[in-house]
Amino acid sequence: MDHTEPSTDPRTTDPKATDARTTDSSSTDPKATDPGTTDSSSADPAATDPAADGGEGPPQGPPPAPDDEARTDGSGGSGKRRRRLRRVRRTTLAILLVLLLPLLTAETALRVNYMGDPAEGTHTRNRDAMWLGHAWVDGRKDDAELAAFARRLKTTGIRDLYVHTGPLEHDGTLPESRYPEARWLIDAVHRELPGVRVQAFLGDVLATEGPDGMHLERTATRAAVVRSAAQVLDAGYDGVHLDLEPLHSGDRDYLSLLDDLRAVTRDRDAQLSVAAHQIDPLPALHSVFGVFTAHPKWWSQEFFGQVARRVDQIAVMSYDTAQPLEGTYGGYVAQQTSLALEVTPPTTHLLMGLPFYYESNFDHWGHAETVAAAVRGVRLGLSRTDADRKLFGVAPYIDFAATETNWDEYREGWVR
């Protein structure tokens, strides 16, 4: 997730054809010789015209070819160029079709996936969550703002708050100075919103696609992350929410880290939750992207399941999809919901992210990635795969960028 709180969130991927006419035109044009330049004896009809002696001259050959037919590069050269151009055009068209047809087919399939009616009862289970910015723990928020936010949440199904408390240092440590008002927030939420949990949202950039960032392959770094998790639990948080990006599919060091974190959170009766990458919409697509780009983007469904079995909650970042239309985005979310449900055990709480922000760029088209489309997609995926799943919800991202339209579409489509 790279949407940062403005000035608040401290987080910061045909050569020309050769002319064949190289000889003098006088050597090829029978009419080119000037009679006036010949010897006078050769101009004597008796010497030049056999018919002048009453004899019959030799049979005459065919008349000289017109100028444009005598050329060796004329229409023939132009014809070759035209044939070359036709071949180039046909080859280009074939390449475009090879590239575009799969894309058009996939987009059509996503649009079809958005069709149909969600099943009855596919609404909030009062197990939703929300990502919050860093301003809630660094002193920029006050009691009045907390009270207003609490009033808003009371009309929703949100029961977990992932409050940005990091970022972690690249070595896995977390300075306590980054969350001076955490205790105030936790106490206020518990007072104003009984039953709502406050989890410490800890994140960092991984050194998977560049030289800078956290190195999970280092044992000392993973151990430091575990100590940081214990540190925020000591501060009163109800759980730890981990968001490390970009995390490549199959990362065994990440799975090892989750195992170590789970031991700590279980011992303290706290939650362990993670922000998860999207799942391959086509089998092994992350591997294909990894060959051509430095950013594989997706996780395999198998790896997603491995992560889901190690945590209490897993929240899919089902936004920033590059989908150009609301219908294809909704169909994509429906597919992601189904893929996640298929491999998430019923004992793990699955959440699907909602885009509570507006941007327009290649990764996120604001007119397409709407909350309404995401909610409908979630309901369709839930209906088709496991309509009765209990530990299921949605997770808006993020509070400081949310609009009233975002809130309204969430309530109307999901809370009701």
C-alpha gyration radius of the chain: 37
What pTM did the predictor assign?
0.77
Give CA–CA dist 87/82, Å, rounded.
9
Is residue 88 a part of any domain in this protein?
A: no
Is residue 64 a part of any domain in this protein?
A: no
CATH of the domain at 392: 3.20.20.80
Is residue 282 a part of any domain in this protein?
A: yes
How does the average pLDDT of the chain come out, rounded? 84
Residue 36: burial class (beta carbons within 10 Å; 0-12, 13-18, 19+): exposed
Is residue 321 a part of any domain in this protein?
A: yes
Is residue 120 a part of any domain in this protein?
A: no
State residue 120 phi and psi, 5-degree precision: -60, 140
The answer to whether the CB of 106 falls within 8 A of the CB of 282 is yes
Residue found by looking up tokens 């910015």 in the block = 133
Q: Which range marks the domain in which residue 385 is found?
A: 128-415
**Residue-wise burial string across 239-270, b where 16 or more C-beta atoms lie within 10 A, e elsewhere:** bbbbbbbbbbbebebbeebbeebeebbeeeeb
Secondary structure class of 351 (helix, strand, coil) = strand
Give me the DSSP letters along 215-232.
Answer: -TT-HHHHHHHHHHHHHH
What pLDDT, on the 0 to 100 scale, is given for residue 270?
99
Is residue 377 a part of any domain in this protein?
A: yes
State residue 252 phi and psi, 5-degree precision: -70, -30
Is residue 7 a part of any domain in this protein?
A: no
| Residue ranges for the chain with pLDDT beneath 70 | 1-76, 94, 96-105, 111, 284-295
Angle at 366 between CA 360 and CA 367, to 5 degrees: 120
Query: How many domains is the chain partitioned into structurally?
Result: 1
What pLDDT, on the 0 to 100 scale, is given for residue 40?
39
Ramachandran region, residue 395 (left: φ > 0; alpha: ψ -120 to 50; beta: rest): beta
Is residue 300 a part of any domain in this protein?
A: yes
Neighbours of 28 (CB within 10 A): 15
